[in-house]
Amino acid sequence: MSDISDAAVPAVDRPHDSRASRTSARRTARFGGGLRGPEGIMGWLFVSPLVLILGLFLVIPIAMALWVSLTNWNGSANPFGGGQGAEFVGIKNYSDLFFKDGLTRANFMQSISNTFWYVIAVVPLQTVISLALALLVNAKFLKARSFFRTAFYFPSVTSSIAISTVFLFLFGGGVINGFLKLIGVTGPNWFNDDRGLVHLLFNAVGVDNPSWGKAEIFGRSLWDWLSGPSVAMSVIIILVVWTTSGTFMLMFIASLQDLPVEVDEAAALDGTTNRQRLRYVTIPMIKPTIFLVLTLGLIGTWQVFDQIYVMGGGNPNGTTLSPAYLSYKQSFANFKYGSGAAMAFVVFAIIIVLTSVQRWVLTDKDDRKPLFGRRRKGASA
Amino acid sequence: MNARPLRKGAFLAIAASGALALTACGGGGFNNNNSGTQPSKTGPVKLTVMIGSSGDAETSAVKAAAAAWAAKSGNTVEVIAAQDLGQQLGQAFASSAPPDLFYTDASRIGTYAKAGNLFAYGDQVKDAGFVDSLVKAFTYDGKFYCAPKDSSTLALQINTGLWTKAGLTDADIPKDWAGLEAVAKKLTSGTVTGLVIGNDINRSGAFMRQAGGWVVNSSGAMSATDAGNLQGLQEVQKLMKDGVLKFNTQTTPSTGWGGEAFGKQLAAMTIEGNWIAGGMKDYPDVKYKVVELPAGPAGKGTLMFTNCWGIAAKSPNQAAAVDLVKSLITPEQQMKFADAFGVMPSTTEGLKQFAAKFPDSAAFVAGAEYGTGPVNLAGLDDVINKFNSQLATLTGTAGDPAAWLADLQKNGTAALAG
């Protein structure tokens, strides 16, 4: 704020002037008068529409949802009135999710486990594939580049519901299995197969529900946590990777086109191979985009809902449940809005933690600040 | 340098907009009335009716019936066919203006009633002569909540072409489980499986009933671990092991429900309700007949499904809605519905007329006498869903019904305790 006034006076007067403007600012805050008095008020006036809109549509609803997660609201009473159907229950909804033996915890933990495997599979796959596609359609030798860009981007602009329905037809209707039969493979019964992929790997080496897998974490045995995505979930993984790669490809293309050609040429003159150029020149330079893609991927995958809603709603055997879908069911089908909201906030916390961990991992070692807590004194931003 | 006043200002602004939003909410966004009765409006009113329709035939039949009542009573009625009734009702209940009248599945009664969404008007219509088991299906916590709209029961459908081809006659129609095993074996050959049923408790549950078990007992407690339940599921598994029974998802290619497998002649027999008639219109070449389900060790048993006309606790037009319901449950009107889309009446008188008019459906009507309605206790939906998802993985060699029933018992008891 002081930039304008500082520039207007000779440099020698600065210390004095700066002190003066500080007192004036203080006076402004207190009395609303003075030379630049109305500036603050005007500023607030100008941003107030945005503050109001953000408050009304973002801050207030989140606060309301947080409140609901602390009540046992059943959907028919006034959630803020207290009384029957909306009693304040403290953190019971949260503690039940983790510590109360029962179906809610079993379902929630299964959904967390499913989504964990889903994220593990989807995020790296979609990042690598979209980067590969971007490098491909960014290559100078490629003809009809815009055609390929459109083609790869197409799945992303199509409605997820429509694509899910098409996949239901492809995998459930026997098209894929018919194709697999041609090459002599008997395909599984995709949407009804609840076997986990990691379990199948274990089974292949002769391990099935071993004694070390009996230990329970939050009421779910270690063996179950390790199941891996089920065959049915794998279909959803394939679908999501296919649809989202286009969007992320676009982001990679944008950043690739921003790269200075000179650096690439200089590296080429130094006698680097293509692979070396990719590893030591291109990828370090597009690191911010990689961070963006990973973050968006992480957030998006933890919130998976549409595909689950269309493709079976948790079947088979709960192996496609996701926390977002479970939260929806808990609220709108079982009228346990408090518990449903609590699930949503737990997922919110998981996303926040994972994103900060990922941010920490991707930052250069020298710039790192501790994961949690305050920055070391004197460290630069 | 202005950091402190800035922060203070931000806080004030947020607080101000917050107060604004909260007052907006208090202004009547939520209706804080839990009693279930509302002061009824007088004079002509506009009723909203939300139905989960099976198709155009049902929608237009309901519209016609509602319009007839509207013309007679001077009110107006709007009929909305929901895409996903359960979801739309859930959202409507959370708003301040749910539809006045809506289809309510018997399995949802407990959940809706417990949340205070339903107006219990059963006492005003109890003289209509409903079938006893239907009244029981809509009674929760001692209160008869709403008027049964229709009824359906499960029966055994037999593909007569495949039946005679396998050298079977009317004398072979199964009367008990042994008979069922025998004919299923004879009917299984090539791509045809003897019996294909849906993969949830709504089909396998019939076997549980025939063995004398059921998920809840008459006093409303869980009884999933009763011997009859396990015996019923073991019979299903035994037939699977012999390769003569499959779930609809296990056929090649897999099918959406028993009726589809039956229509595509992947199954020689299936167990479905009277809605099969509508489904079989897609397969006009398949000739079939409907017989009662074979009896198990504990006698005859079948499952019954039904919807009622639910009235919203928040509706300001409850008196008019009850009046509309009364016009919809007369035997004449129910027979009109039966003609239009094949649904069975809910009153003894209506069923009598139905059996006389549609002799082919006699087996369905017979089932109404001993059928068991769905579990309607609050909070059990999820528990049953969990059990269904386990049951769906049952095969002849894999799957542990005893463990699933134990889970069902445990989860159900916890859910009923709240």
Instruction: Decide if pLDDT at A132 tops 70.
Output: yes
Q: B215 in helix, strand or coil?
A: coil
The DSSP symbol for B308 reads E
Question: Which residues of B are less than 8 Å from A338 in CB distance?
Answer: none
Q: What is the ipTM of this complex?
A: 0.71
- If asked whether residues B230 and B172 sit together in one domain, one would say yes
- If asked whether residues B289 and B318 sit together in one domain, one would say no
- Which of A9-18, A156-165, B300-309 has the lowest average pLDDT? A9-18
Which structural domain range is residue A176 located in? 97-364
- If asked whether residues B276 and B179 sit together in one domain, one would say yes
Q: Residue B20 has what pLDDT?
A: 41
Q: Residue B5 has what pLDDT?
A: 44
Both ends of chain A: CA-CA distance in Å?
22
Question: Which residues of A are less than 8 Å from B387 in CB distance?
Answer: none
Residue A87 domain-assigned (yes or no):
no
Q: For chain A, say whether B383 makes contact (Cβ under 8 Å).
A: yes
- If asked whether residues B177 and B135 sit together in one domain, one would say no
CA distance B220 to B151: 22
Instruction: Decide if pLDDT at A65 tops 50.
Output: yes
How many residues does this entry show for chain B? 418
Q: Residue B156 has what pLDDT?
A: 95
With 0-12 / 13-18 / 19 or more C-beta atoms within 10 angstroms meaning exposed / middle / buried, residue A80 is middle
Confidence of residue A156 (pLDDT cuts 50, 70, 90): confident
Structural domain tally of chain B?
A: 2
Question: Which residues of B are less than 8 Å from A84 in CB distance?
Answer: 34
Q: Which residues contact A280 (CB under 8 A, 6 or more apart)?
A: A267, A272
Residue B70 domain-assigned (yes or no):
yes
Structure tokens that stand for A23 in this block? 């007192």
- Which of A74-78, A205-209, B102-106, B412-416 has the lowest average pLDDT? A74-78
Q: Residue B207 has what pLDDT?
A: 96
User: What CATH number should be reported for the domain holding residue B388?
Assistant: 3.40.190.10
Q: Residue B12 has what pLDDT?
A: 44
Strands B193-197 and B245-247, sheet pairing: parallel
Residue A74 domain-assigned (yes or no):
no
- If asked whether residues B298 and B311 sit together in one domain, one would say no
The DSSP H or E segment spanning B165 is: helix B160-165
Q: Residue B197 has what pLDDT?
A: 95
- If asked whether residues B295 and B317 sit together in one domain, one would say no
Upstream peptide bond of A316 is cis (omega within 30 degrees of 0): yes
Q: Residue B41 has what pLDDT?
A: 55
Residue A114 domain-assigned (yes or no):
yes
- If asked whether residues A61 and A119 sit together in one domain, one would say no
Structure tokens that stand for A355 in this block? 């994103």
Instruction: Decide if pLDDT at A28 tops 50.
Output: no
- If asked whether residues A177 and A105 sit together in one domain, one would say yes
- If asked whether residues A216 and A358 sit together in one domain, one would say yes
> Is B386 in contact with A103 (Cβ distance < 8 A)?
yes
Q: For residue A333, give the chain B residue with the closest CA.
A: B90
Instruction: Decide if pLDDT at A4 tops 80.
Output: no
Residue A288 domain-assigned (yes or no):
yes
> Is B386 in contact with A174 (Cβ distance < 8 A)?
no
- If asked whether residues B346 and B210 sit together in one domain, one would say no
Structural domain tally of chain A?
A: 2
Residue A379 domain-assigned (yes or no):
no
Task: Scan for tokens 């497998």, then name that residue.
Answer: B261
- If asked whether residues A241 and A342 sit together in one domain, one would say yes
- If asked whether residues B111 and B206 sit together in one domain, one would say no
The whole-number mean pLDDT for each consecutive block of 10 residues of chain B, a chain of 418 residues, reads: 44 44 39 46 83 86 93 92 87 86 91 89 90 89 92 94 93 94 93 93 94 89 93 95 92 86 94 88 91 94 93 92 93 90 89 91 90 86 87 88 93 84
CA distance B250 to B392: 9
Residue A85 domain-assigned (yes or no):
no
Which structural domain range is residue B70 located in? 46-151+306-372
> What is the DSSP track for B53-99?
-SSHHHHHHHHHHHHHHHHHHT-EEEEEE-SSHHHHHHHHHHSS---
Q: Residue A138 has what pLDDT?
A: 87
Minimal CA separation from B117 to chain A, in Å: 7
Q: Residue A6 has what pLDDT?
A: 43
Question: Which residues of A are less than 8 Å from B13 in CB distance?
Answer: 44, 48, 51-52, 55
- If asked whether residues A49 and A103 sit together in one domain, one would say no
User: What CATH number should be reported for the domain holding residue A129?
Assistant: 1.10.3720.10
Structure tokens that stand for A29 in this block? 């805050």
Cβ-nearest to B32 among A29, A59, A77: A77
- If asked whether residues B299 and B312 sit together in one domain, one would say no
DSSP-assigned beta bridge partners for residue B288:
B159
3-state secondary structure labels for all residues of A43-63: HHHHHHHHHHHHHHHHHHHHH
Give residues 226 to 255 of B whose Cβ lies within 8 Å of A.
249-250, 253-254
**Phi then psi dihedrals of residue A35, to 5 deg:** -60, -50
Structure tokens that stand for A324 in this block? 């977002």
Contact A344, A336 (CB under 8 A): no
Size of interface A-B (CB pairs under 8 A): 141
Neighbours of A211 (CB within 10 A): 7
CA distance A226 to B253: 31
Encode pLDDT of A309-367 as tens digits.
988 788 788 899 999 999 999 988 888 899 999 999 999 999 999 999 988 888 877 77
